[in-house]
Structure 1
Amino acid sequence: MFDAKLQTKPAVRMQRSRGAARAGFSGARLTGLHQSGSAKAILPRVPGSPEVVFLNTSGGLTSGDTLSYQTELDAGAMLVATTQAAERAYRADDGPAQVEVRHSVGSGCHLDWLPQETILFDRAKLARDTTISLASNASCLMLEAVVLGRAAMGEQVRDLQFFDMRRIERAGKPVFFEPFLLNSDILAKGPRSTVLGEARAFATLVLCRQGAEDAVEPLRAVLDEPGVEGAASGFDGKCVIRLLAQDGWPMRRQIIRLFNALRRDQAAPRVWQI
């Protein structure tokens, strides 16, 4: 008999993206800037408060990709941080992509964290962890918006693993804590699901500052964009707005109207207007 060996092909090692970008401000002065891998931080010239635009040059996220964005504010800094375009999470055949967002907002500072929407494609796997740490007298406005596929392309999302952890802390104590899970089992329930119903786009906008409750009624007055369901509530120095929509475009219009109501002295970030 002849000896025989089982011939096997070595596993293909797929290339993965790694990216980290960080910006620091003291007052209106840039004090630190770091960028590596696929993550970039762009500093456009804008009137008013400084603006940081984060960018993922890999074009999207899939299994094993890691991405990190971070800002640090002190000495009364007022910063607008956003993303250059919608982030995309594509089909993943292995573990999830990992995204970490960390913002440190020092005494007397304010941060607007206004990333553009995240688009989740069928079979995407994404784990994201966002934490905003506020000093006792700091404030912030935080947005998270998600769209399930592209309606104009006829895309349907049926298989998904998405875990999104959102935290806002003040002086080390949590003031907003929201772990959000959306997976294939929940999507399979369709309109029976208490999470989304028939919506394929959703967003949460949170304002944390002294007197944030006073913003509830003005915001409710503009929650009338066709094709979008919205609600606002306020308590204990917070105002929370929830949105559900059939598509990302009407939701985006509603978000910009909310920006205009909350940020009367500033237009929406320039990249949102393109």
Structure 2
Amino acid sequence: MTADPSRDCQAPAGGSGHRFDAERRWDASMSLGFAADWNASAAGRTRMIRARHHGPLRVQRPFYPETSHRHPGTMAALGEPCHVYLLHPPGGLVSGDRLGIEVGVERGAHALLTTPAATKLYRADSHGVAWSQTNRLRVADGGLLEWLPQETIAFDGSRGLQRTEVELEGSARCLGWELMALGRPASHLPFASGRIEQRFRLVRDGRPLWMERQPLDPTHPRFVGRWGQGGASVQATLWAVGLADLHEAVEAVRGALPASARWAVTQRHDVLLLRYLGVSRNEAWDLCSAAWQVLRPRMAGRDACEPRIWRT
């Protein structure tokens, strides 16, 4: 792949976006910061204290849809969460695009980030130039981040690198998911060419808890083999770290989801993992949403509150 994601948060080189060869590059970046406001009138409400952007990445104003009542969960409840929608007006990534998103949640803060629609990964150009997207999520001791983007749809011929890095400090908590739909089977356009690489890295105080690298190449035997992708066109991973009783949470999620061979819930070190491999975006979304509803009271002391944008 030709894209270099290590420069995703840097300004583009002069004129690079106007090239028409393999060196073409369009950069966009965003840096968000969240902190709890413990003034008497705010009562711990999380504020967005930083919102810097370069290129076509934006946020709408912060939303506060949750009432002040709290669920009597096992984890201490934080102040009122801040909901933020990440906007990428182009709606998808094309050859040369390089997106970099950085999120920082300070001590005692609680932020929920999502997207208004699916992200589309379009077919590579005639030069095979790749796109890249890097998400760097940092949560300080005592903070909580919910990373809940809507699904990603990879068009046939797409080429790129998708990377998510989560850095936790002390007792920080994080719950997130990633859903990927490969191709557009309903339009008889399967993911038959191209290559997408996914990387995930989750550490606490510098100690790795979960690291993974997955190439999605339809020409590789793994893509159709029963020991690998098995021909599935939709996959999803949900992670939760910072649960007080991990074993109890795993059993609670298993008990809340419908029996199926297409999903499994496990624990790896201190991380709860829900995996889905199948052919239905809606099934994957419903499973992740149901698991989130089980896990959120255990992590935040609050019932799940769906962002309104999911209903539009």
Matched with 1:36 is 54
**Paired residues of 1:144 and 1:204 also in contact (CA < 8 A):** yes
Indicate whether 1:56 and 2:56 are aligned: no
Give the number of equivalent residue pairs.
Answer: 262
- More displaced 10-residue stretch of structure 1: 162-171 or 241-250: 241-250
Q: Secondary structure at the match of 1:263?
A: helix
Q: Which amino acid aligns with 2:27?
A: R
Q: Secondary structure at the match of 1:185?
A: coil
Matched with 2:35 is 26
Matched with 1:128 is 162
The root-mean-square deviation of aligned C-alpha atoms, in Å, is 2.1
Would the alpha carbon gap of residues 151 and 44 (structure 1) be closer, same or farther in structure 2, given more than 3 Å must change? farther
CA–CA separation in structure 2 for the residues paired with 1:150 and 1:269: 26
Would the alpha carbon gap of residues 16 and 235 (structure 1) be closer, same or farther in structure 2, given more than 3 Å must change? closer
Matched with 1:100 is 134
CA–CA separation in structure 1 for the residues paired with 2:199 and 2:60: 25
Offset, 1:189: 5.9
Would the alpha carbon gap of residues 185 and 152 (structure 1) be closer, same or farther in structure 2, given more than 3 Å must change? closer
Q: Secondary structure at the match of 1:130?
A: strand
**Paired residues of 1:17 and 1:38 also in contact (CA < 8 A):** no
The correspondence for 2:245, drawn from 207, 211, 218, is 211
TM-score (norm 2): 0.78
Offset, 1:64: 0.8
Q: Which amino acid aligns with 2:107?
A: A
Q: Which amino acid aligns with 1:157?
A: F
Offset, 1:24: 0.5
Specify every segment of 5 or more residues in structure 1 that has no aligned partner in the other structure, as ranges: 1-10
**Paired residues of 1:119 and 1:147 also in contact (CA < 8 A):** yes
**Paired residues of 2:209 and 2:268 also in contact (CA < 8 A):** no
Matched with 1:7 is none
TM-score (norm 1): 0.88
Matched residues, percent identical? 28
Indicate whether 1:229 and 2:262 are aligned: yes
Q: Secondary structure at the match of 1:260?
A: helix
Equivalence map 1:191-270=2 (5 Å)? 191-209=224-242, 210-224=244-258, 229-264=262-297, 265-270=303-308
CA–CA separation in structure 1 for the residues paired with 2:311 and 2:295: 17
Q: Deviations over 1:70-110 (max 9, x none)?
A: 11111311111112211110110322101010111001001
- More displaced 10-residue stretch of structure 1: 148-157 or 236-245: 148-157
Specify every segment of 5 or more residues in structure 2 that has no aligned partner in the other structure, as ranges: 1-18, 37-45, 67-79, 298-302
Structure number with the higher strand fraction is 1
Q: Deviations over 1:184-213 (max 9, x none)?
A: 323x66642422213210011111114333
CA–CA separation in structure 1 for the residues paired with 2:165 and 2:91: 24
Offset, 1:253: 1.8
Q: Which amino acid aligns with 1:30?
A: M
Offset, 1:154: 2.3
Max Rg structure: 1
Offset, 1:270: 2.6
Would the alpha carbon gap of residues 57 and 18 (structure 1) be closer, same or farther in structure 2, given more than 3 Å must change? farther
**Paired residues of 2:30 and 2:58 also in contact (CA < 8 A):** yes
Matched with 1:3 is none
